[in-house]
């Protein structure tokens, strides 16, 4: 609940789309005409929400890690209707597997559309709105020191939850943007059946980390104090808690996840994963113009193409591009390799290729990044 001393309430962002923030010019955005598939999805969500409320489900805010500068933060979370958790039988710590979650369970939750969320930052209250899928993505003014902070979130009568926020040091001129699928975690995502198995069935404890990548990203974080490690993926927000636990368990540096919401948008039947990555890369370039980003990906999807285009458009924002090369068997499972080799020749960025984190680390050391 907000503090009883009635702290000041400041307007914040409407999270109905990316780039919504509290620093807008005050222009009124015309109401969007939704795609037919989006209208169908909204009707299904409304039916599920009404049914869940009648069955006694409760409003729950799922906090995600955000980021920001010393003058603003980007708040990320999702609002759902869930059942009360049953008390868990206490087991010995040795051998216990906490929070074992099959992927499909994260897709059965009921999102709440357009719900108001209260964000409290150092006693100052802001109101933001979730989008059609219950996702909050809002940019809010704040005065915080570099490093890790916690903010609180609440929607309707939900419990108050804390969300971690990483404030990037203005003196830090380096950061890392890393893909997840087949870069830090072996998933073979492009193949539909394997993607479905990894996303909906496979236990998070059975997912395989990519050799050497955790050590590489941890060394980069230690070599550049105050810098950010941001994980950019086309995965759905539904699996964010699972991915966060996977990254922590395998000793990857903590950092925000920038995921997407699967399903129709206001103007198309399916969301574009490529556009999601492009939009967020351009947004980071605008938000941190003095930062040079190391872009980490693999050659099994479109990372080379997306990173190459970004390096051509924002050469001042790219420190280097590190591509993990899939093994022949992984390339087959991933549907082949990228055909964007010419981009590395056209771009002025430093490109490096290796099958694991150790090989990339050696090249980054020669470049002076490590």
Please say whether the beta carbons of 262 and 224 come within 8 A: no
Q: What is the DSSP string of 42-87?
A: HHHHHHHHHHHHHTT-EEEEEE--EEE-SSEEEEEEEEEEEPPPPP
pTM value is 0.80
Q: Which among 22-26, 53-57, 195-199, 290-294 has the top mean pLDDT?
A: 290-294
Give me the mean pLDDT over the 171-191 stretch: 83
Q: Where are the domains of the chain?
A: 9-167, 174-367
Pick the CATH number of 174-367 from 3.40.50.300, 3.30.565.10, 3.40.50.2300, 3.40.50.1000: 3.40.50.1000
Q: Quote the pLDDT of residue 268.
A: 46
pLDDT digits (tens, 9 = 90+) for 192-217: 555 555 555 556 666 789 999 999 99
Q: What is the DSSP string of 291-349?
A: PEEEEEEESSSSHHHHHHHHHHH-GGGEEEEEEEPPPHHHHHHTTS----HHHHHH--S
| Token pair for 123 | 């006693």
Q: Residue 176 pairs with which residues in a beta bridge?
A: 229, 294
Question: 305 pLDDT exceeds 80?
Answer: yes
Give me the mean pLDDT over the 234-261 stretch: 90
Give me the mean pLDDT over the 234-253 stretch: 89
Please say whether the beta carbons of 130 and 79 come within 8 A: yes
Where is pLDDT greater, at 89 or 218? 218
- pLDDT-based confidence at 286, cuts 50/70/90? very high
Question: 287 pLDDT exceeds 70?
Answer: yes
Q: Which of 25-34, 132-141, 240-249 has the lowest mean pLDDT?
A: 25-34
Vertex 8 angle, CA 284 and 75, to 5°: 25
Q: Quote the pLDDT of residue 24.
A: 38
pLDDT digits (tens, 9 = 90+) for 316-367: 999 999 999 987 655 554 554 555 555 555 567 899 999 999 999 999 999 9
- pLDDT-based confidence at 128, cuts 50/70/90? very high
Name the 3-class secondary structure at 259.
strand
């Amino acid at each position: 609940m907000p503090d009883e001393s009635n702290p000041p309430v400041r307007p914040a962002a409407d999270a109905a789309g990316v780039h919504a923030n509290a620093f807008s010019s005050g222009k009124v955005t015309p109401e969007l005409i939704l795609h037919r598939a989006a209208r169908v999805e909204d009707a299904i969500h409304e039916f599920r929400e009404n049914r869940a409320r009648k069955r006694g489900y409760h409003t729950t805010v799922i906090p995600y890690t955000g980021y920001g500068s010393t003058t603003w933060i980007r708040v990320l979370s999702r609002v759902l209707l869930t059942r009360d958790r049953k008390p868990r039988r206490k087991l010995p710590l040795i051998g216990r597997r906490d929070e074992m979650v099959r992927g499909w369970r994260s897709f059965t939750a009921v999102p709440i559309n357009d719900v108001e969320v209260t964000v409290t930052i150092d006693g100052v209250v802001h109101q933001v709105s979730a989008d059609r899928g219950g996702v909050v993505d809002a940019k809010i003014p704040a005065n915080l020191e570099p490093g890790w902070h916690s903010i609180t979130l609440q929607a309707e009568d939900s419990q108050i939850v804390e969300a971690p926020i990483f404030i990037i040091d203005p003196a830090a001129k380096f950061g890392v943007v890393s893909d997840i699928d087949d870069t830090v975690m072996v998933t073979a995502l492009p193949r539909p059946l394997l993607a479905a198995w990894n996303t909906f069935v496979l236990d998070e404890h059975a997912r395989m980390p990519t050799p050497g990548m955790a050590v590489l990203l941890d060394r980069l974080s230690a070599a550049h104090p105050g810098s950010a490690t941001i994980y950019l993926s086309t995965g759905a927000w539904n699996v964010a808690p699972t991915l966060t636990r996977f990254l922590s368990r395998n000793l990857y540096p903590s950092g925000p996840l920038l995921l997407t919401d699967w399903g129709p948008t206001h103007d198309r039947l399916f969301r574009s994963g490529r556009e999601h990555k492009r939009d967020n890369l351009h947004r980071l370039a605008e938000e941190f113009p003095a930062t040079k980003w190391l872009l980490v990906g693999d050659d099994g999807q479109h990372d080379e193409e997306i990173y190459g285009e970004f390096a051509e458009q924002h050469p001042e924002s790219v420190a280097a591009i590190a591509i993990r090369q899939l093994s022949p068997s992984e390339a087959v499972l991933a549907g082949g390799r990228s055909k964007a080799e010419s981009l590395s020749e056209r771009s002025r960025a430093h490109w490096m290729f290796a099958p694991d984190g150790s090989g990339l680390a050696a090249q980054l050391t020669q470049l002076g990044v490590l």
